[in-house]
Amino acid sequence: MERSKMRTAVVERKTGETKVLVSLNVDGGGSAQVNTGVGFLDHMLTLFAKHGLFDLKVEATGDLQADNHHVIEDVAIVLGTAFRQALGDKKGINRYGYISLPMDETFASVAVDLSGRSYCVFSAAFTRESVNDFPTEMAEHFFDSFSRACECNLHAKVEYGRNDHHKIEALFKALSRALKAACELDERAQGVVQSTKGVL
């Protein structure tokens, strides 16, 4: 794809609790510069960029002294918004993406429909309250917030596993790979929206 046609977005969100800036190139090479103040989230977003071949920059600051809930939530919102904006009218994209992904003893599946309608189904059980500085309950909240902002159907499930780090990492990797597939352009659908409605 020509650089002039690359699908990119820069989105900023400022609230009384956080400030988040995301720069996204859907047609990138997997480079990441991530600084959210939440170490485990930085790790997840870095591998998210790598596995989806998205170029991603994330800068986030917020009220981490109170809790990291707001930073994690708002990063998900801004990232989802960036995908929605970068994809524009969604002409020519596959629209759907699905992958089942192993991570050592863990097996996770993610399916995405870039339908213009937000709906998240998340199924995963965790035994720990947090992985490093990332509350495990925030995994579902991140996926749900991303789905709402991206306006996509997002179904995520950990089929089985024991290690909570592996479970969350498998979900983020699977999300990345499923999104990559959904965002890819189909040469046979140039200029065409993959919907009988004509819009997504």
pLDDT in tens, 12-27: 999 999 999 999 999 9
Give the residue carrying structure tokens 């996926």.
Answer: 143
How far is the C-alpha of 100 from the C-alpha of 66, rounded, in Å? 36
| Domain contains 194 | no
The pLDDT of residue 178 is 98
Task: Evaluate whether residue 197 is within a structural domain.
Answer: no
What are the tokens at 156?
A: 């995520």
Contact between 24 and 56 (Cβ < 8 Å): yes
pLDDT of residue 66: 85
- 200 part of a folded domain: no
At residue 5, does pLDDT exceed 80? no
Query: What's 111's domain CATH number?
Result: 3.30.230.40
Residue 39 lies in a domain: yes
Domain that holds residue 138: 3-189
Query: Angle, to 10 degrees, between the axis of helix 164-183 and the axis of helix 69-87?
Result: 20
Whole-angstrom distance, CA of residue 162 vs CA of residue 192: 43
Question: 112 and 96 in contact (C-beta within 8 Å)?
Answer: yes
Number of domains the chain is built from: 1
Identify which has the larger pLDDT, 24 or 191.
24
Distances (CA, A) of 77 to 69, 177, 187: 12, 19, 30
Q: What are the tens digits of pLDDT across the range 110-168? A: 999 999 999 999 999 999 999 999 999 999 999 999 999 999 999 999 999 999 999 99
Q: With contact defined as beta carbons under 8 Å apart, do 167 and 106 qualify?
A: yes
Q: Can you tell me whether residue 149 is helix, strand or coil?
A: helix
12: in domain? yes
Residue 199 lies in a domain: no
Contact present, 49 and 31 (Cβ < 8 Å): yes
- Check if the beta carbon of residue 6 is closer than 8 Å to that of residue 13: no
Residue 74: phi and psi, rounded to 5, are: -70, -30
196 falls within a domain:
no
pTM, entire model: 0.96
* 8 A C-beta contact, residue 171 and residue 143: yes
By CB neighbour count within 10 A (0-12 exposed, 13-18 middle, 19+ buried), where does 29 fall? exposed
Give the pLDDT score at 195.
Answer: 87
pLDDT digits (tens, 9 = 90+) for 40-90: 999 999 999 999 999 999 999 999 888 899 999 999 999 999 999 999 999
- Asked whether residue 48 is assigned to any structural domain, the reply reads yes
Are the C-beta atoms of 167 and 161 separated by less than 8 Å? yes
